[in-house]
Amino acid sequence: MAISYSLTSLSKTLNPSLHKPSTICNLLKTPHKTHLTPTLNLLKPPPLSRLFTTHIAKFKPKSKSNLIPIRCLFTGIVEEMGRVQYLGSAADGGFTMKILSKTVLEDVNLGDSITVNGTCLTVTDFDTQSAEFTVGLSPETLRITSLVELEPGSVVNLERALKPSTRMGGHFVQGHVDGTGEIVGKEREGDSLWVTVKTSPELLRYIVPKGFIAVDGTSLTVVKVFDDEGCFNFMLVDYTQQNVVIPLKKIGQKVNLEVDILGKYVERILSSGFVNPIKSS
């Protein structure tokens, strides 16, 4: 159920200029004394994008002590496109998203991992009768990914975590979004579609021609990298265009990016000096 707030609190949320810049992130923290009071459901909750500063997130390699363990794995082969039913505040004060779907609910259980536009999220509730499931969202997830731009009616890519018996059709995708990119070009060639994405130098260093990349959770092959422009491109065949959300996005919209993890492991090994002992032996 959507939660609305008192007119005073809502007007402050709708008008960021009433806040000092330093207080934007404070909206993500639980206050000692809440000023949000439930009222009649007459006002539409503001979009989450108003609560978060959106930008192309810079990727910073994690230190050894902060490496995220791999608890689940995906292929980047989108199983279906779901539709966002609700995205906003939860009753417990956090953030939640409800998605209408069908295929990914066939064997779903509470606690399962499902990628939503390439972001690994945990199923907190589901209803097979109404064909929908709910996932929780952390403030950090909304800052780093493009999920904050979604709204009711938005279409999203969905994929369940791999099983040992699953055919590996794409590449190793963790669902740990490294940052976002911006669509800066779309051009048709026959029934195929060229897409050009601009991203930060910190991410571009891991993107190579003919290499893998996950764009909104879709496993794709990079065609060219344009270092001077800070861009890379890829091509979508007609079948892929019909089954993923990327062609539905307009120039200027953001996409979630996850670079090939193998490149990060190689960089880690080389920077640790582990290669020298191997050469000497």
Walk me through the domains of the chain, giving residue ranges and CATH numbers: 80-266 (2.40.30.20)
CB 182 within 8 A of CB 223: no
pTM: 0.72
What distance in Å separates the CA atoms of residue 87 and residue 156, rounded to the nearest whole number? 13
Tally of CB atoms within 10 A around 17: 6
| pLDDT at 192 (0 to 100) | 97
pLDDT (0 to 100) of residue 281: 52
pLDDT at 70: 47
Give the list of residues 6+ apart from residue 34 with CB closer than 8 angstroms, or none. 93
User: Could you read off the pLDDT tens digit of each residue along the chain, which spans 281 residues?
Assistant: 443 333 344 344 434 444 433 332 343 444 444 343 343 343 455 555 555 544 444 444 444 434 444 457 888 999 999 999 999 988 877 899 999 999 999 999 999 999 999 999 999 999 999 999 999 999 999 999 999 999 999 999 999 998 777 677 778 888 999 999 999 999 999 999 999 999 999 999 999 999 999 999 999 999 999 999 999 999 999 999 999 999 999 999 999 999 998 888 888 888 887 666 555 55
Report the pLDDT value the prediction gives residue 51, as an integer from 0 to 100. 53
| DSSP E strand stretches across the chain | 80-89, 95-100, 113-116, 119-127, 132-137, 155-160, 179-189, 192-198, 212-215, 218-221, 224-226, 231-236, 254-259
Residues pairing with 232 in the sheet: 197, 225
Residue 18: what pLDDT? 40
Cα dihedral sign, 77-81-82-88 = positive
Identify the bridge partners of residue 226 per DSSP, sorted by sequence position. Answer: 231
